[in-house]
Structure 1
């Protein structure tokens, strides 16, 4: 993983020029000072509790020793341009490691403050014992805290870069997972994609198709784990987006989802087991093709979806059912078609048919008589009744 150059937060202009004897005394105590600083950090910053043991403890201890060693090199120089690159780079990498460990930048800065205070106290004691005068000690203190400022700035930069980098990688993995789900990729590939994205599969997923302009508003009201593919998804209409909303699959979950989408023109597919999300997406697309307006719950339009599944087959069925009326005058055929449809849907209840068609009940009786003349016993045949209901619904 690449790193960007780290600009120091301050320019260290203080010259201390510690005597070699003082520097040697400090170097002899370097490991002790580093251990003391780390122990204080672990004690006072809750995020570092238990970090002293194991690999992370060694990383932190080495980083502190590197920083202190770099500082002593700086403090023994007679000019203000002593090289700081190794310590700065070490601080930068420490910041990246802390981000990967899940610790916040606030915890990192607290660790620097506490470590600086502990290190200064121990190093000042050694310096005073070695005979450093008051003026030199003051410059020494100034250099310590300016140096810590630079290291902490470098660590914050590393922490920020790591979060940005890992965030982009995870977002890309989430987008790939969404696409794999929507396109019906094999289960093993989808499970692997979920693992790479560090995404815990829910009990169910619901596909939602909506206008791109409404997507941001919808996402604010939905579960944060909602998946959003950004690549082209097969079948998605121009100017529309798709979402996969996690849920439990319980009866109460769907009303809550519909409430969250109020005010949008979203089409909501069925809730399905998460690995079957492509089925929810396909149904949402078919429902969107019906041209309904507002918030559309596909569960409320199953009959319309069934009838629209094969338009050519439905047209052929309609033509076959209405074939006996083809020899009649067009106006008569149209009236009898409307009467047949209403008679089927109202199960032969004459008053209900008359009310729907705005005609007298006797007119309905006359037309049904005409239909019986044309169709004969087929009006009592369950198979024909089913065909006619589907064709005319």
Structure 2
């Protein structure tokens, strides 16, 4: 800090000769301040011979000497003194402490200095005006070094936060890496990022509105909003209340939640989350709330092999597909619902909201068209998958 940042120091009208006799007492004043500080601030109560204790004594001596030397020197450069306190503030930040202890120490030092000034005023025969001017200068001085400490603290906190954020970014990327990172590598990076590794994770693929406000995430969530495929690493997704939590966080942002996996399988969860989001954006799957991919296994499985299933339709269900659209649509929908209800015509009718006899008529017609394909156990899963894709995803009206 330059002299321009210390206006009011030293006090004009106080001659250097009046305060110069204080210089031989600097060490005694510093020692008194150290004793009182250590009695009131537990974290500063270190042995005098320790490195910490010696550094503390040195800093206070430099501070007291700098204040006394300033009188008679209007061009005083305060950078050395304020630099000491900027470093102390930064040290407190790096240790994870608040500035309360340092602020107490500065206040106590000021109290000791005032008591000594009163005694010195009698000894040196200062006038009340001189004592008042010196004391006023002291208050301004203390404010300046406290401000320097605060700035050093804030700067260090910013650096720490920035470094921690960079570790979080690296950790986030590592969680979805393919091939996966080891548990040990994830744990080491998590410690640097001060992130508590969960037992499981899910990766959420998201599509925020371009230029819109991004959701505010809890600290435990790791997000990359600017990737080509934005995503969130969600810790312990199956815990109590987590479903409501993710819905509240994301709001209207389209999102698909990949399967819950161990820490090292984030790439798998992310892959399926992207597939789920792609189906939302195509209008195939609902977008009203974050979509859990495991709730839509048939659709995701079918769409992943869309070309193969489309080819299978023309083979296994060719006679049905060749019918006109107005005839094949109710037959295909009935067959899918009939298979889903274990060939129960009554349950099928209830699901389709039609009469039971209508279902039985359609089933007989389907038996004529498809033959043994309808009841062959070896092809039942295949039949369900083909019909699910055709009816639910692509639509039977498509050619």
TM-score by length of 1: 0.80
CA deviations 1:181-228 (Å, max 9, x no partner) are 233452355444323323232333333334435986742xx5322222
Q: How does 1:97-108 map to 2 (within 5 A)?
A: 97-108=91-102
Structure 1 position 207 matched with structure 2 position 203: yes
Matches of 2:3 and 2:195 in 1, distance apart?
33
Matches of 1:275 and 1:155 in 2, distance apart?
43
Matches of 1:175 and 1:120 in 2, distance apart?
51
| Structure 2: stretches of 5+ with no match in the other structure | 281-285, 389-399
Aligned equivalent of 1:34: 30
Q: How does 1:1-393 map to 2 (within 5 A)?
A: 8-15=5-12, 16-19=14-17, 23=20, 26-45=22-41, 48=43, 50=45, 55-75=51-71, 78-122=72-116, 124-126=118-120, 128-129=122-123, 132=126, 134-184=128-178, 186-187=181-182, 188-213=184-209, 218-219=215-216, 222-233=217-228, 236=229, 241-247=230-236, 250-258=238-246, 260-261=248-249, 263-265=251-253, 266-291=255-280, 292-298=286-292, 299-325=294-320, 333-356=328-351, 360-393=355-388
Go from structure 1 to structure 2 and tell me whether the alpha carbon gap of 1:354 and 1:123 turns closer, same or farther (over 3 Å shift).
same
**What secondary structure does 1:12 align onto?**
coil
Is 270-279 or 66-75 further displaced after alignment?
Answer: 270-279
Go from structure 1 to structure 2 and tell me whether the alpha carbon gap of 1:178 and 1:71 turns closer, same or farther (over 3 Å shift).
same
Matches of 1:392 and 1:205 in 2, distance apart?
33
CA deviations 1:259-280 (Å, max 9, x no partner) are 5347434433343333433333
Is 61-70 or 197-206 further displaced after alignment?
Answer: 197-206
Indicate conservation of the 8 Å contact 1:7/1:154, yes or no.
Answer: no
Matches of 2:112 and 2:291 in 1, distance apart?
63
Matches of 2:238 and 2:138 in 1, distance apart?
60
Aligned equivalent of 2:397: none
Go from structure 1 to structure 2 and tell me whether the alpha carbon gap of 1:129 and 1:13 turns closer, same or farther (over 3 Å shift).
closer
Matches of 2:197 and 2:335 in 1, distance apart?
50
Go from structure 1 to structure 2 and tell me whether the alpha carbon gap of 1:356 and 1:129 turns closer, same or farther (over 3 Å shift).
same
CA deviations 1:14-53 (Å, max 9, x no partner) are 1433449x746x444333322322332343346x454667
Count of equivalent residues: 376
CA apart distance, 1:312:
1.5
Matches of 2:97 and 2:343 in 1, distance apart?
73
Indicate conservation of the 8 Å contact 2:316/2:373, yes or no.
Answer: no
CA deviations 1:95-120 (Å, max 9, x no partner) are 22222222334543333222211233
Matches of 1:5 and 1:273 in 2, distance apart?
56
